[in-house]
Amino acid sequence: MSPPISPTWLAWPTLSEAGFGYEATGATHHSAELARIMAQWGDLFTAELVIERTGQYAGAVRLIVGGIEVGSVPHGAADAYRLVIEALNAAGSAATCRVSADEGELAPWLLILGRPAVRPDDAPFLPPVGAGDYVALAAGEAERLDASLNSRAKTKHVFRTASLTVEPGGLAVWLDGVRVGDLLGAYLRVKEAARAGFPLTCLAELRRDPGRGFRFEVFAPR
């Protein structure tokens, strides 16, 4: 039996990640285990996705954190995940992704950030947790980036990979080697990743919407 995957979020996932994920089922039944995990690792950690092989629930996809089961992939999505898990396992890799957790008022819930797809080599490292943060764009960048969409459509959304650098008071945001603006705030997890030597790459979205003009968002864990 393979040793448990470390729960630290500072690990390269093998599943592609997205900010919109599935809410895990069964987390309520693992409240005590989740409380211990969150006390040590916080509300963002890495989980391994494992297929139940025997018994009444054979075929279910379990979330395992540090060797402890904490929930399952929803039944309706399990088929898609099983295909990817089998492919990764056959190649000698575990199926892993980051999971965002919340204790909840009545019961804990878990958001599975991993999609049922193998992570591309050029995918950003930082997990897309929560809603995007609007970048305070430098002078002229809104117009330049809007023009880069190469479309006159009133509504246009394009996803890109941005890079971050740690600056006093926040983060500098870079796209294609150009510093386009800044994010204000502590962003402790981004700084943690920087200290550990991981690339500060993240998902970014260029947005044009009627009545709201152009906006540039990045998805980075705080």
Q: Which candidate, 73, 79, 122, places its Cα nearest to that of 97?
A: 73
Half-sphere exposure in the Cβ direction for 103 (13 Å, CA): 8
**pTM over cut 0.75:** yes
What is the 3-state composition of the chain as percent helix, strand, coil, each rounded to the nearest 5? 20, 40, 40
* Span 126-171, pLDDT tens digits: 999 877 899 999 999 999 999 999 998 899 999 999 999 999 989 9
Cα 90 to Cα 12, 17, 47, 83, 86: the distances in Å are 19, 21, 19, 11, 6
* Span 181-205, pLDDT tens digits: 999 988 999 999 999 999 999 999 9
* Span 75-86, pLDDT tens digits: 999 999 999 999
Q: Which candidate, 99, 49, 55, 56, places its Cα nearest to that of 77?
A: 49
Please say if the pLDDT value at position 106 is more than 80. Answer: no
